[in-house]
């Protein structure tokens, strides 16, 4: 099977020459795309597990004396869907996703869930094509900087802000949706994070979760500054 030019360029970008190119095509095929080759749902399931094992090994190697309670949040930060989607954006995976018309019309190439699933499916495709060592090399190459700085990213901003408030006997922060702008397929949410003490900050993002995290981070910067 010969890969289309854009998919062939993507394979070169991630640094893996597929002996079974059909695996990569399937990994990039969303369920909305009509194809006899199948979609990437099963590969996403497998890739999630491969990614988890690679990250568990990498963390144990990087911090041989760290307790499980220290490793767990670092692990979660590295394998969560948002991180997978960020890596996917870094390598332009959205540009080569094979999507049905409905997903194309609603901004599917930018959707976090589709990007994250696609990234995990690509990992599985490399695993099935060339084995665990090849998949591990791919993950470590793409996640390298994130692994090196995971300690700072392990506690997300909402968790850190809640812990800050609780340590001072305050109620948990509140998150209020102030506005929603843009078309339905590409909304922009404005969220305000509020502390009982009156400190507050707003942030915008394409998902409520991301906007809440950004707003929490802004409040943290204020109260800790």
Model pLDDT for residues 179-199, shown as the tens digit of each residue: 998 887 778 899 999 999 999
Residues 83 and 194 in one domain: no
pTM above 0.85, yes or no: no
Q: How far apart are CA 58 and CA 105, in angstroms?
A: 39
- Average pLDDT of the chain? 89
Residues 90 and 12 in one domain: yes
Domain that holds residue 138: 5-153
Write down the pLDDT at residue 145. Answer: 86
What b-and-e string marks burial along 41-58, b requiring 16 or more CB atoms within 10 Å of the CB?
eebbebbbebbeebbeeb
Residues 93 and 53 in one domain: yes
| More confident site: 45 or 211 | 45
Write down the pLDDT at residue 103. Answer: 86
Instruction: Give catalytic residues, as residue numbers.
Output: 48, 120
CA-to-CA separations, 104 to 95, 109, 163, 178, in angstroms, rounded: 11, 7, 40, 28
Question: 174-181 and 200-205: which strand pairing?
Answer: unpaired
Kindly tell me if the per-residue pLDDT of 125 is higher than 70.
yes
Write down the pLDDT at residue 114. Answer: 92
Residues 39 and 93 in one domain: yes
Model pLDDT for residues 128-143, shown as the tens digit of each residue: 999 999 999 999 999 9
Residues 9 and 83 in one domain: yes
Write down the pLDDT at residue 88. Answer: 95
Among candidate residues 112, 127, 153, the one where a domain is terminated: 153
Among candidate residues 153, 168, 197, the one where a domain is terminated: 153
Kindly tell me if the per-residue pLDDT of 1 is higher than 60.
no
Domain of 134, CATH number, reads 1.10.1520.10
68-79 and 81-90 helices cross at what angle (nearest 10)? 50
Q: How far apart are CA 106 and CA 66, in angstroms?
A: 44
Model pLDDT for residues 11-44, shown as the tens digit of each residue: 999 999 999 999 999 999 998 987 676 899 999 9
Say how many domains are in the chain: 2
Contacts of 77 by beta carbon, 8 Å cutoff, 6+ apart = 83, 150, 153, 154, 156
Model pLDDT for residues 39-92, shown as the tens digit of each residue: 999 999 999 999 999 999 999 998 888 888 788 888 888 998 888 998 999 999
| More confident site: 110 or 19 | 19
Residues 102 and 27 in one domain: yes
Write down the pLDDT at residue 112. Answer: 85
Contacts of 80 by beta carbon, 8 Å cutoff, 6+ apart = none
For residue 84, give the H/E element and its range. helix 81-90
């Amino acid at each position: 099977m010969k890969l289309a030019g854009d998919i062939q360029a993507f394979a070169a970008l991630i640094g893996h020459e597929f002996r079974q190119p059909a695996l990569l095509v399937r990994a990039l095929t969303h369920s909305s795309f009509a194809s006899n080759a199948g979609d990437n749902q099963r590969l996403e399931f497998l890739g999630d597990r491969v990614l988890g094992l690679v990250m568990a090994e990498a963390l144990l190697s990087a911090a041989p004396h760290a307790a499980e309670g220290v490793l767990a949040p670092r692990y979660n930060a590295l394998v969560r869907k948002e991180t997978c989607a960020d890596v996917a954006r870094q390598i332009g995976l959205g540009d080569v996703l094979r999507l049905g018309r409905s997903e194309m019309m609603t901004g599917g190439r930018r959707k976090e869930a589709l990007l994250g699933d696609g990234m995990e499916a690509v990992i599985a495709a490399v695993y099935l094509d060339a084995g665990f060592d090849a998949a591990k090399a791919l993950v470590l190459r793409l996640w390298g900087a994130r692994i090196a700085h995971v300690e700072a990213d392990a506690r997300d901003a909402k968790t850190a802000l809640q812990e800050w408030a609780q340590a001072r006997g305050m109620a948990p922060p509140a998150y209020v949706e102030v506005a929603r702008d843009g078309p339905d397929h590409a909304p922009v949410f404005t969220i305000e994070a509020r502390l009982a003490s009156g400190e507050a900050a707003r942030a915008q993002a394409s998902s409520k979760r991301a906007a809440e995290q950004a707003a929490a981070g802004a409040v943290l910067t204020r109260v800790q500054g």
